[in-house]
Amino acid sequence: MSLLTVGSVAFDAIETPFGKTDKIIGGAGTYIAFASSYFQPSQNIVSVVGEDFPKEMIAKLESRGVNVEGLQVKEGEKTFFWSGKYHNDMNTRDTLVTELNVLEHFDPIIPASYQGAEYVLLGNLSPQVQSTVIERLTERPKLVAMDTMNFWMDIAMDDLKKTLTMVDVLIINDEEARQLSGEYSLVRAARVIRDMGPKYLIIKKGEHGALLFHGDKIFSAPALPLEEVFDPTGAGDTFAGGFMGYIASTDDYSFENMKRAIIAGSALASFCVEKFGTEKLENLTKEEVDARIEEFVRLTNFDMVHTVG
Amino acid sequence: MSLLTVGSVAFDAIETPFGKTDKIIGGAGTYIAFASSYFQPSQNIVSVVGEDFPKEMIAKLESRGVNVEGLQVKEGEKTFFWSGKYHNDMNTRDTLVTELNVLEHFDPIIPASYQGAEYVLLGNLSPQVQSTVIERLTERPKLVAMDTMNFWMDIAMDDLKKTLTMVDVLIINDEEARQLSGEYSLVRAARVIRDMGPKYLIIKKGEHGALLFHGDKIFSAPALPLEEVFDPTGAGDTFAGGFMGYIASTDDYSFENMKRAIIAGSALASFCVEKFGTEKLENLTKEEVDARIEEFVRLTNFDMVHTVG
């Protein structure tokens, strides 16, 4: 089914306890596009880059089934740049540099050929841009999911609250859920946030997995215990991309299928952190992804019926 | 099957963001005994209290199938007392008072009628006391599990390492696993710790659930997302007691059954935190426990086979 993804395509410079990169390709939209492509063979992307963005990377996205008609290339302007440094625990980081560049006045133009999208994933961007995308869609998609972050809660809470009334699924991390709701307990936070609009809430807990809330149901997905987290950048975007790619490819947004989609997203996220940036995500095989999903099944599977054996 | 539990029976005074208690009944052995009693109808306890310990509490333990022949009551001495204050996150706490009292020279005497125990759970106590218990058993049990804490790693690492060579299952939390192994990654920590002796390692992660490591297998169990954690005291002991009670009652220590036992222990721990001290644990019904276990099944259950519906 048709999938529209929206998110930044950017440069990152990353420092972790394991090493340091120069400018490499990053951005929520990039991670989302690569991740969803493992389930959904085609997607339409809306984003913006400057003239400094490498053509080969755009070609690489196209080779993964990404239609780049909606990827604006701004002549004479520079691509969004983010630089950050992770602490030793790899769960917290400091932002060193944020240069908005082309993102500062990003007008998310939806090409006519993109209209009719059934599934839409809005990566982390200003909530005003996110709501503009939804308003420009001529038909209401079957399911709209969005990511956001604490930054927007600090400076654009009203815009964010408006956007939340327009989406079906919100995907955020535990600290963001606490900030958005003002509740420490994630169960209470989930109730408050779902009252803001999204019928489905996914709370990402990093190395501790993810929770899906809907109605009075909760699903708890584990993260794969990893020997080493090399670079967490993009893991959340990868999770969201894998989730939505799975939903779109199966054309099923039931609660049962969302559980599978969360496992699919978690599997891709577990690859993402194994190398710097998108490196690991660019060249996985279907067999590797399937084997990783199977690891999640083995990791969590139990049957309470005891048969003395 | 026969179960021997060893652990402190004590007084606690607890302060949380929700309130404060006077001296109430606590101690690892108490939580373990109550928890395991929901699966295993009889158990033999080895512990020590002072003459100040209330007889009614001993009667209450007996009413839950706990044989108190091995519970020494020291005339003219005082029961172990611990006091602590939880921070707002409920995950960290400060110890305010520790009065060892009868625990200072605790000699864990095993009554003759206790010999032949098939399952043994050594609650958190000095590793020297723990190893003495094992040495005093005339037959090797089928399975010996133990808990410990960072305190013993700080002051009695050699004793602890000796005790670790004598047990099958170690149950500790994530921070303790990191301290014991010197590794931040729990996967690496698990490898280092299992090289110290225990073939099975359970790492408790509080509100994030627990991990079981054995051979090249890992099982990840969730914690139940709770509206409110009222008092976390004893949750780890309750988990261990429920785990071992389940194992003993089913007489099956296969990896598959350990998964079930972890869910059983997690279910009881989720009750424990709902009230101060052992209050909630003292009077559960089998139906309540079964229903809670069923909640864990619903919380984690997924089936990757997608059938378009």
Contact of B7 with B47, CB cutoff 8 Å? yes
- B104-123: average pLDDT: 98
Residues B133, B135: Cα–Cα separation, whole Å: 5
Cβ partners under 8 Å of residue B47, min gap 6: B6, B7, B8, B9, B27, B29, B70, B71, B72
Contacts of A185 in chain B (CB under 8 A): 226-229
Contact of A35 with A16, CB cutoff 8 Å? no
Comparing alpha-carbon positions, the chain B residue that sits nearest to A300 is: B220
Query: What CATH number should be reported for the domain holding residue B145?
Result: 3.40.1190.20
Q: Which pLDDT band, with edges at 50, 70 and 90, does B278 fall under?
A: very high
CA distance B135 to chain A (A): 30
A305 found inside a domain: no
Contacts of B186 in chain A (CB under 8 A): 225
B309 found inside a domain: no
CA distance A253 to chain B (A): 10
> Does an H or E element contain B60, and which?
helix B55-63
Residues B132, B130: Cα–Cα separation, whole Å: 5
Paired strand residues for A71:
A47
Q: Do A263 and B304 lie within an 8 Å CB cutoff? A: yes
What is residue B290's predicted lDDT score, i.e. its pLDDT?
Answer: 97
B49-88 pLDDT per residue, tens: 999 999 999 999 999 999 999 999 999 999 999 999 998 8
3-state secondary structure at position B176: helix
B305 found inside a domain: no
Residue B280: pLDDT over 90:
yes
What is residue A269's predicted lDDT score, i.e. its pLDDT?
Answer: 97
3-state secondary structure at position B28: helix
Q: Do A308 and B209 lie within an 8 Å CB cutoff? A: no
What is residue B309's predicted lDDT score, i.e. its pLDDT?
Answer: 45
Q: Do B298 and A260 lie within an 8 Å CB cutoff? A: no
CA distance A305 to chain B (A): 8
What is residue A308's predicted lDDT score, i.e. its pLDDT?
Answer: 55
Contacts of B243 in chain A (CB under 8 A): none
**B91 contact A CB<8A:** no
Q: Do A209 and B220 lie within an 8 Å CB cutoff? A: yes
* Chain pair A-B, CB pairs under 8 angstroms: 100
Residue A273's CB is within 10 A of a number of other CB atoms, namely: 24
Q: Do B184 and A89 lie within an 8 Å CB cutoff? A: yes
CA distance B112 to chain A (A): 30
Contact of A36 with A284, CB cutoff 8 Å? no
Residue B32: pLDDT over 70:
yes
Cβ partners under 8 Å of residue B85, min gap 6: B14, B15, B16, B93, B94, B96
A62 found inside a domain: yes
What is residue B57's predicted lDDT score, i.e. its pLDDT?
Answer: 96
Report the Cα–Cα distance between both ends of chain B, in Å, rounded: 47
A169-204 pLDDT per residue, tens: 999 999 999 999 999 999 999 999 999 999 999 999
**A91 contact B CB<8A:** no
DSSP string, B237-305: HHHHHHHHHHHHHHT--SHHHHHHHHHHHHHHHHHHTTSSTTHHHHT--HHHHHHHHHHHHHHH-----
Q: How far is CA A151 from CA A154, A277, B156, in A?
A: 5, 22, 46
**A64 contact B CB<8A:** no
A307 found inside a domain: no
Residues A186, A188: Cα–Cα separation, whole Å: 5
Q: Do B252 and A308 lie within an 8 Å CB cutoff? A: yes
B201-212 pLDDT per residue, tens: 999 999 999 999
Q: Do B300 and A89 lie within an 8 Å CB cutoff? A: no
Structural domain range at position A33: 3-298
What is residue B308's predicted lDDT score, i.e. its pLDDT?
Answer: 55
CA distance B130 to chain A (A): 30
Cβ partners under 8 Å of residue A157, min gap 6: none
A12-39 pLDDT per residue, tens: 999 998 889 999 999 999 999 999 999 9
| Residue given tokens 């090797």 in the structure block | B140
**A225 contact B CB<8A:** yes
B126 found inside a domain: yes
> Does an H or E element contain B3, and which?
strand B3-6
For residue B61, give the amino acid letter: L
A278 found inside a domain: yes
DSSP string, chain A: --EEEE---EEEEEEETTEE-SSEEE-HHHHHHHHHHTT-S-EEEEEEEETTS-HHHHHHHHHTTEEEEEEEEETT----EEEEEE-TTSS-EEEEEEE-GGGTT------GGGTT-SEEEE-SS-HHHHHHHHHT-SS--SEEEEE--HHHHHH-HHHHHHHHTT-SEEEEEHHHHHHHHS-SSHHHHHHHHHHTS-SEEEEE-GGG-EEEEETTEEEEEPPPP-S-----TTHHHHHHHHHHHHHHHHT--SHHHHHHHHHHHHHHHHHHTTSSTTHHHHT--HHHHHHHHHHHHHHH---------
CA distance A145 to chain B (A): 21
- B187-195: average pLDDT: 98
Q: Chain-wide mean pLDDT for chain A?
A: 96
Q: Do B225 and A211 lie within an 8 Å CB cutoff? A: yes
Residues in chain A with pLDDT < 70?
A: 307-309
Of A188, A302, A308, the CB nearest to B259: A302
Please tell me the total count of domains within chain B.
1
Residues A66, A61: Cα–Cα separation, whole Å: 5
CA distance A289 to chain B (A): 13
Paired strand residues for A46:
A6, A70
**A307 contact B CB<8A:** no
Residue A267's CB is within 10 A of a number of other CB atoms, namely: 26
CA distance B189 to chain A (A): 9
Of A208, A299, A304, the CB nearest to B219: A299
Of A184, A208, A300, the CB nearest to B205: A208
B-proximal residues of A, 236-265, CB under 8 Å: 250-252, 254, 256-257, 259-260, 263
Residue B138's CB is within 10 A of a number of other CB atoms, namely: 9
Q: Do B252 and A306 lie within an 8 Å CB cutoff? A: yes
3-state secondary structure at position B53: coil
Contact of B158 with B189, CB cutoff 8 Å? no
Torsion angle (degrees, nearest 10) of CA A145, A148, A154, A158: -20
Token pair recorded at residue A118: 């059934």
Token pair recorded at residue B107: 């000699």
Contacts of B217 in chain A (CB under 8 A): 298
Contact of B264 with B243, CB cutoff 8 Å? yes
Token pair recorded at residue B14: 């607890």
What is residue B88's predicted lDDT score, i.e. its pLDDT?
Answer: 80
A308 found inside a domain: no
Residues B129, B136: Cα–Cα separation, whole Å: 11
Q: Do B227 and A257 lie within an 8 Å CB cutoff? A: no
Contacts of A250 in chain B (CB under 8 A): 306, 308
- B20-42: average pLDDT: 97
Cβ partners under 8 Å of residue A221, min gap 6: A209, A210, A211, A212, A259, A262, A263, A266, A296, A300, B302
| Residue given tokens 């058993």 in the structure block | B137
